Structure 1
Amino acid sequence: MRSSPFALPDRLIATPAEKRVAFLRGRSFAHRGLHGAGVIENSRAAFRAAIAVGHGIECDVQAAQGGEAFVFHDDTLDRLTGESGALADRAAATLDTVALSGTDEMLPRLTEMLALVSGRVPLLIEVKAGHGGIGPLCVSVRRALEGYRGPVAVMSFNPEVGRWFADHAPRLTRGLVVSEQGKPRLRGTAERWLSLWRARPDFLAYDVRDLPSRFAARARRRDMPVLTWTVRDAAAEARATAHADAPIYERP
């Protein structure tokens, strides 16, 4: 097999830390908690449901005004609450009073979710940060994780998030979220390699629609775990089993 021109810098810059990633392999992770059937995503109830069946949890964090990390997927409140507008425009104390639609639960802070999980199952935290100022949210996540005892990793589409944690919390397991959807072949390939080198991830979280993928397969040959999202049906489950190390799933 011909050696890729990217192989040498790949080995030098992005070599994974095997001990940090062992907990990722052979697990199932509930996407935004085990939600559905009246249980809302990224809620305390969804987390408790995943813990009850012993599955890992994937969740998202967004920054309130000032950077405080809240467990919430969207950058606006409209879809999942009775409020509207950007989450980042609300102070943390205000968000503490905003209820998730159809529930008595208020928007949870990351610190609350960590206390709820308390190391009982593995946890993946996707840092929802654009390419602007990522510092306040990353600082909030790092502070929330200080003293946390349990298997946990952070991940993001934004390679600057991975780089931030590589520089400021190097012992924390970190991942790069990847999708090849809508990206021209040459440009997409270059973008993925540059993101890998910049983020220095310990694992990849890959779009299941892109599997099998040469990029993901190369990572696995280097013993870098590849998780895959979002597995929702039997066909996706088969791809995940064949081409990844763990699924991030939603039940039908």
Structure 2
Amino acid sequence: MNRLGPSFLRQPLAHRALHDVKDARPENSRAAIKAAIEAGYGIEIDVQLSSDGAAMVFHDYDLKRLAKDSGPIQQRSGVDLGRVILRGSDEGIPTLAEVLALVAGGVPLMIEIKDQDGIMGANVGRLEQAVARDIEGYQGPLGVMSFNPHSVQQMAIHAPLVPRGIVTSAYTAEDWPLLPKGTRNRLREIPDFDSVGACFISHEIEDLGAPRVADLKARGADVLCWTVKSEAQEIRARKVADNITFEQYLAKLPNS
């Protein structure tokens, strides 16, 4: 099992890149990625699947909140999505291949694979295969993760040498109203960590005190967390977490 490179535990990860739509840097945009690189931060991005099997760097399942269009991203081709303009900018939705070329190993890059099943089930595979194709041969600090353990297992099959982890949560009914109670109860305990060959978790900041997080940390797992939104939150998070994913402020860089 490959472990995260040391830079993943040193350089804070900019959540959806260093975004600030007021400064023409929308979430997961090229401008936000370039800003993170220039600042020396690591980068966390999200990927969704186009209708023709391309891994697109985009967070939501629907275009409406983030782009000047609407409708499910999965119903549009990669070329078409590249023409859909992100709100607050003049750029279209980038492909994962474009982002990999832009980062080019300069800073650590964490790819979150969004659940394609709908309820964290096993109906996944196409997006994971697309990600694996794109990252093959990539040179530089790289990690992949997903809330859905089935997606992480797919990455173990298709990109076994890339460090992989599970995005984890308290899975409250309030925050996850569409997820069945039994699924929430199961995932809360992070039961798949060993079976998928994970080497890290990225855990919800409000739940870092969970006994299972302490157990995994004691066993040597790297613990990242999401999403830190202030210096005060960062101080609290770092009492448990090895590194943070942040937004809405500028996290402290090592040796700064």
2:157 match: 167
Q: 2:48 aligns with which of 37, 40, 62?
A: 62
Letter in 1 for 2:27: E
1:103 match: 89
Q: What's the CA shift for 1:140?
A: 0.8
Matches within 5 A, 1:123-162: 123-131=109-117, 133-162=123-152
CA contact (8 A) 2:202 2:226 kept: yes
- TM-score normalised per structure 2: 0.86
The separation in 2 between residues aligned to 1:86 and 1:203, in whole angstroms, is: 31
The separation in 2 between residues aligned to 1:186 and 1:148, in whole angstroms, is: 34
Percent identity over the alignment?
40
CA contact (8 A) 1:62 1:137 kept: yes
Q: 1:30 aligns with which of 2, 10, 14?
A: 14
2:198 match: 201
The separation in 2 between residues aligned to 1:40 and 1:190, in whole angstroms, is: 31
Q: 1:180 aligns with which of 170, 180, 187?
A: 170
2:28 match: 42
2:221 match: 224
Q: What's the CA shift for 1:187?
A: 6.6
CA contact (8 A) 1:24 1:225 kept: no
CA contact (8 A) 1:161 1:199 kept: no
Q: Flag the 1:251–1:191 CA change in 2: closer, same or farther, 3 A.
A: closer
Q: What's the CA shift for 1:97?
A: 1.2
Q: Flag the 1:146–1:244 CA change in 2: closer, same or farther, 3 A.
A: same
Q: Flag the 1:87–1:187 CA change in 2: closer, same or farther, 3 A.
A: closer
CA-to-aligned-CA distance 1:20-71 (integer Å, 9 cap, x gap):
4433213200000111142211000100111011110000000001321000
Matches within 5 A, 1:6-25: 17-18=2-3, 20-25=4-9
- TM-score normalised per structure 1: 0.87
The separation in 1 between residues aligned to 2:231 and 2:35, in whole angstroms, is: 22
Q: Is 2:52 aligned against 1:52?
A: no
Q: What's the CA shift for 1:95?
A: 1.0
Q: C-alpha root-mean-square deviation of aligned residues, in Å?
A: 2.1
Matched residue SS, 1:137: helix
CA contact (8 A) 2:8 2:42 kept: no
Q: Is 2:100 aligned against 1:114?
A: yes
Letter in 2 for 1:121: V
Structure number having the greater helix percentage = 1
Q: Flag the 1:27–1:97 CA change in 2: closer, same or farther, 3 A.
A: same
CA contact (8 A) 1:181 1:210 kept: no
Letter in 2 for 1:22: P
CA contact (8 A) 2:171 2:187 kept: no
2:243 match: 246
The separation in 1 between residues aligned to 2:203 and 2:112, in whole angstroms, is: 13
CA contact (8 A) 1:228 1:244 kept: yes
Matched residue SS, 1:161: helix
1:13 match: none
1:8 match: none
Q: What's the CA shift for 1:234?
A: 3.1
CA-to-aligned-CA distance 1:184-235 (integer Å, 9 cap, x gap):
8997367534332443211100000102221111111111100000000233
Matched residue SS, 2:69: coil
Q: Flag the 1:241–1:84 CA change in 2: closer, same or farther, 3 A.
A: same
